[in-house]
Amino acid sequence: MTDPLAAGAGSLVKSIRIVLAVSGAIALLAGIVLLVWPVKSAVIVTAIFASYLVVAGLVYIGLAVFSRIEGGWARIGHIVLGLIYIVAGVIAFANLGVAAATLALVVVIFIGISWIVDGVVALSLLGQDGSRVWTLLYALLSIVAGIVVLFSPLYAAAVLWLVLGISLVALGLVQIVRAITLGKDAKNLAAARSDAAS
C-alpha cells in the first residue's frame, strides 16, 4: 500500500524539478542568444517593449472611453497618456535599432545616476552607521562607478549586456543542475533511514 503523503511529496518534487528545468533551459537559451546575437536580441527586447507601449496605450484609451466612474479630467488624462504610449511605441517600431540604442542609453544613464545618488545617501548616513569604513567604501565605489558609467554609457551598456548574458547562462546551468539533483538527497536520506530501521 502506498503512503498518500509520500506520493504527494513525490509529485511535488517532480513538479518542482520540471519548473526548475524549464526555467533553467529558458535562462540558458536567453543567455546564449544575448551573447551570440547581442544586437538582434537588443532589438527584440525593444520590440517587446514597443509592443507593451502600444497595448498599454490602447488599455488607457479604453479605460477612459468605457469607464463609468471616472470624471472628465481623468478621462482626458488617460486618453492623453494612452496616445503618448501609442506614439512612443510606433516611433520605436519605426526604427528598432535606434530605439534599442536609445533605450540602452537611457537605462545605463539611469543606473549611473542612481549609483551616484546611492553613494551620496550612504555618505549622508556615515555618522549614523556602525560600520563607517564599509559605508565609506561602499559610498566611494558607488559614486565612482556611477561617474564611470555616465562618462562611457555605450561601453557600460555593452558590458552590462555581456554580464547579463553570462549571468543568464550561469544561472540557467545551475537551475538545470538543481532540477537534476533535486530529490536525490531526500531519496538517499529516506534509504538511509529505512536501512537504519531494519
The answer to whether 67 touches 52, Cβ cutoff 8 Å, is: no
Q: Is the pTM of this model over 0.85?
A: no
% of the chain at pLDDT higher than 70:
88
For cell 486618453, what's the residue?
79
Mean pLDDT of 28-34: 92
Q: What is the pLDDT of residue 70?
A: 79
Q: What is the pLDDT of residue 134?
A: 86
- pLDDT category at 190 given cuts 50, 70, 90 is low
Taking all residues of the chain, what is their mean pLDDT, rounded to a whole number? 87
For 87-111, b where at least 16 C-beta lie within 10 A, e where not — what string? Answer: ebbeebeeebeebbbebbeeebbeb
Residues in the chain: 198
Q: What is the pLDDT of residue 50?
A: 94
The answer to whether 182 touches 17, Cβ cutoff 8 Å, is: yes
How does pLDDT run across 119-169, given as a tens digit for each residue?
999 998 887 766 788 889 999 999 999 999 999 998 998 998 999 999 999
